Amino acid sequence: MGDRTEGTTLERTDYNKDYSPNNCEWASAEMQANNKSDNVLLEVDGDKKTLSQWARDLDILPNTIQYRLYRGWSVEEALGLEPHIVPSKKLLKGALLEYVIEQSKAGRTQTDIGREIGIHPSAISRALKTAEERTRKHGE
């Protein structure tokens, strides 16, 4: 392995194996942090990086990316590589609304449904809430 370089510590190459010389290397704290198994990996056009690496490279706060993803933005939108399209305020109606209700009852997420039909998850959430309120109000 050679002598330790300043600013590095010992890291295992394969975490399922022991600390033998052929399974270890000297690595910086940043390298070790990026190799953690609980990191969120994001991929854009075949380029896979941790959320923290994308944040550093694009000069965006990691929490901003996390929040955008939580809100249902695509990876490209969350990273600022594509514009985020604000959902339309009009409600879903007719057969499309019935489909959304069916899919929601079947356990699909609003994000998945929205991606399938090209509508932002928050618009789906509003439509489901409005439909539920109408059902309660009118006993439909």
Residues 78-108: pLDDT tens digits? 998 887 766 555 557 788 888 889 999 999 9
Q: Give residue-wise pLDDT tens across range 32-46.
A: 877 777 788 899 999
Q: What is the share, in percent, of the chain residues with pLDDT greater than 90?
A: 26
Report the 3 state secondary structure along the chain. CCCCCCCEEEEECCCCCCCCHHHEEEEEHHHHHHCCCCCCEEEECCEEEEHHHHHHHHCCCHHHHHHHHHCCCCHHHHCCCCCCCCCCCCCCCHHHHHHHHHHHHCCCCHHHHHHHHCCCHHHHHHHHHHHHHHHHHHCC
Instruction: Copy the structure tokens of residue 94.
Output: 């007719």
Q: What is the share, in percent, of the chain residues with pLDDT greater than 70?
A: 92
What dihedral do alpha carbons 122, 126, 131, 136 form, nearest 10°? 130
**Domain range list for the chain:** 1-38, 40-84, 94-138
